Amino acid sequence: MRSLITRALRSFAILKSILYLYGLVLDYSDAMIGGGFQFTNPNANQTCGCGKSFS
């Protein structure tokens, strides 16, 4: 397991997973509708209808 530190965020990932997370953008919105964490992953081939999971 590796620790990745980017600006003020520390995350932990298994080394094999880091290649899938490369280029991922994590954003947060406090909007009443649709708020929360938003993941934008350029490596994703497909996403579900809600946009929360990808493959």
Residue 47 lies in a domain: no
C-alpha distance from residue 23 to each of 32, 39, 43, 46 (Å): 28, 11, 8, 16
Into how many domains does the chain fold?
A: 1
Residue 54 lies in a domain: no
Residue 14 lies in a domain: yes
Domain of residue 23 covers: 2-40
Residue 48 lies in a domain: no
Residue 35 lies in a domain: yes
C-alpha distance from residue 42 to each of 4, 9, 11 (Å): 19, 20, 19
For residue 49, name the pLDDT band (cuts at 50, 70, 90).
Answer: low
Residue 51 lies in a domain: no
The pTM (predicted TM-score) of the whole model is 0.50
23-38 residue pLDDT tens: 888 888 888 887 888 8
Q: How many CA atoms lie within 13 A of 20 on its CB side?
A: 10
Phi, psi (degrees; rounded to nearest 5) at 52:
-90, -25
